[in-house]
Amino acid sequence: MFGTMVGSVILVVLIVLVLWVVASCIRVVPEAQAMVVERFGGYLTTWNKGIHLKMPFVDRVAKRVTLKEQVVDFAPQPVITKDNVTMQIDTVVFYQITDPKLFAYGVENPILAIENLTATTLRNIIGDMELDETLTSREVINTKMRANLDQATDPWGIKVGRVELKNIIPPDQIVDAMEKQMKAERERREAILIAEGEKKSSILRAEGKKESAILEAEAEKEAAILRAEAAREKMIREAEGRAEAIRKTQQANADGIRMIKEAGADQAVLALKSLEVWPSVANGKATKIIIPSELQNVAGLIKSVAEVAKDSDIAQADPVLAGNGQQEEEDEVF
């Protein structure tokens, strides 16, 4: 009875051990991971995602490797520029394991190796650049560092995808000098802008005065032209008025003489009418007036009437010429 119980216990233990050994030989590899397997201490194979079996007590998983892209932030490193300025620069490296075997056997501590390699590469690159160039050439530095690190880490099964300069920290004295330089530059630009503004303002004022003078001259010219035209129009109107007055006067004289002729006036009437003319003759501009004697009254009156009748006919034909003739007659010496 006792022997049967011992045998049963031993059988159970053996079954449990067999199940445990079988379970330990079955491995499931997740996505984006890999396992490096060794047999008797030597590299055997690399397991990728899926279910895998290994030999018990012979095979072992030497290293688990993540195939995702990883990022590591390194502490600031002191570097010296070409113009002997010491500054602190910290970097960020993005890398991915492409060969688990090389990663497991290539270098003892890959992250430390990448950090030291990043520091030395950064010092080499910054040492060939001056301070101003360093501050403005981040993209150039990133490209050079990525190329150098990718080439150096390729035997380790690591692919460097991107390198970024996180911070560039110059010394405090350099920062103060840069701030003063920036302030001076801003003040210089401000002075230039003020000078350009004053220059443009002066030019605009001068152009405004010029335009104003031109407009005033043109206005004066137009005003002079209008005044001249107004004076000419006035003279024309006055001349036309005088001509019309002379025409009306001569027309009235001609009508009066014609009425006298139609009425058949005798010598006494003609003599009376001739006497009515002398007051107007005396008021004229003639310098000499000769009155006919008694012996020449009849002949003078007849001749005067004949001349007046002749002038009346001329006035009917052209009143303007008649007016000029009347003026000339007043200046004649009878």
d(CA 295, CA 273): 19
| Tens digits of pLDDT across the chain (334 residues) | 566 777 777 877 888 887 887 777 888 888 889 999 998 888 889 989 888 888 888 888 888 999 999 999 998 889 998 888 888 998 999 999 999 999 998 888 888 999 999 999 999 999 988 888 888 888 999 999 999 999 999 999 999 999 999 888 888 888 788 788 888 988 899 899 999 999 998 999 898 899 989 999 999 999 999 989 999 988 998 888 888 888 888 888 788 777 777 766 556 555 656 656 555 555 555 555 555 554 345 445 455 545 545 555 554 544 444 444 444 444 443 3
pLDDT of residue 257: 74
Instruction: Measure CA of the first residue to CA of the last residue in the chain; give whole Å.
Output: 200
pTM of the model: 0.52
Q: What contacts 284, CB < 8 A, 6 or more positions away?
A: 330
**Cβ atoms within 10 A of the Cβ of 95, count?**
22
pLDDT for 310-326, tens place per residue?
A: 555 554 544 444 444 44
Residue 170's φ and ψ, nearest 5 degrees, are -75, 170
pLDDT of residue 61: 87
pLDDT of residue 327: 44
DSSP reduced 3-state for 11: helix
pLDDT of residue 159: 92
Handedness of CA 185, 186, 188, 192 (dihedral sign): positive
From the number of C-beta atoms within 10 Å of its C-beta (0-12, 13-18, 19+), residue 322 rates as: buried
pLDDT of residue 36: 92
d(CA 112, CA 127): 23
Q: Which domains does the chain have, with CATH numbers?
A: 7-65 (no CATH), 69-170 (3.30.479.30), 221-331 (no CATH)
Contact by Cβ (8 Å): 58, 39? yes
In angstroms, the Cα distances linking 330 to 140, 225, 282, 287, 327 are 116, 40, 9, 9, 5
pLDDT of residue 303: 55
